[in-house]
Amino acid sequence: MDYRLLGRTGVEVSPLALGTMMFGAWGNADHDDSIRIIHKALDAGINFVDTADVYSAGESEVIVGKALKGRREDVVLATKFFMPTGDGPNSSGGSRRYVMKAVENSLRRLDTDYIDLYQMHRPSATTDVEETLGALTDLVQQGKVRSIGSSSYSGSQIVEAQVAAERRNLSRFTTEQPPYSILVRGIEEDVLPTTLRYGMGTLVYSPLSGGWLTGRWRKDAPGAPVSKNRPAARFDMSSPANQRKLDVVEELALLAEANGMTLIDLAIAFVLDHPGVTSAIVGPRTMEQLESQLTGADVTLSTEVLDRIDELVAPGVTLNPDDNSYGAVSLTAAARRR
């Protein structure tokens, strides 16, 4: 693989990052099989592994820790905090109190002395960003964390965090992790230009749009299964937005076939083509899924193919707003003051 610089950190990472949300109770509960998949990814040249403390209640981090024994120094290891990891009122968030607790738990589960990239999983509506950055700065100074990042921040939230870090001389977010795929292009409008402006690395998640771009769900296929990790609104095949997605997927499948590639290759190559994207996070549950996703990093799309994709889904457009990670608070009617 041709490695890429992770923003301005000086660290080089593979264009594919291995996402581990599906290792553990949420997906593949077989630890040995999950470890084999992780080792296969590393052997294929992937050196970037992303997890989170909330994935399978920490089980994913435990599996990753087991898999990296003897190989830790070869891997850029990223994890995330913020989501609830307990029932108490202070078992989530971006407070100093929680950050200091969360990092120790992640270090223990990952069986490592340091985390290469520690990311805030979502912005907090109740915690001053300087509070969070102050705690993360201490972790960097202590050597427990090498770099810090954000996830699913809007453009304005990225700017706010950058300005706060500069004003208070704190460690700044060096990366952002947003959703991005052919069907979910909202970050092209604001987020990607903002990360480029600040020299941030951008690791995009769900390049296959939750399975929509694997070829599994087509117009003549049964409805997608819905689980606690698969929001119903994103897979309700009766909704007009999802019907539109089905139409687009049909056209994309034909486009991929006409150009001698799989739909998965087309989807992954598309997100990696954007100059603002550092790595695409793939999250396989099985070895077969991983192997089907590895080749996407080696595909280069022609101008004609990219133009056809733009005809099907215009730049900056997300076909179904339910696929976004943004706007739960800021875009509500009350927030618009109507």
Catalytic residues: 55
Token pair in block for residue 43? 């052997």
Q: Whose CA is closest to 266, among 291, 297, 235? A: 297
Q: How far apart are CA 87 and CA 135, in angstroms?
A: 22
3-state secondary structure 322-337: HHCCCCCCCCCHHHHC
78 Cβ contact list (under 8 Å, min separation 6): 17, 48, 49, 50, 51, 115, 116, 117, 118, 119, 149, 203
Q: Which amino acid is at 309?
A: I
Tokens 């215009």 locate to 314
273 Cβ contact list (under 8 Å, min separation 6): 300, 301, 306
Q: How far apart are CA 205 and CA 179, in angstroms?
A: 5
Q: How far apart are CA 305 and CA 317, in angstroms?
A: 18
Q: How far apart are CA 84 and CA 180, in angstroms?
A: 24
Token pair in block for residue 176? 């952002």
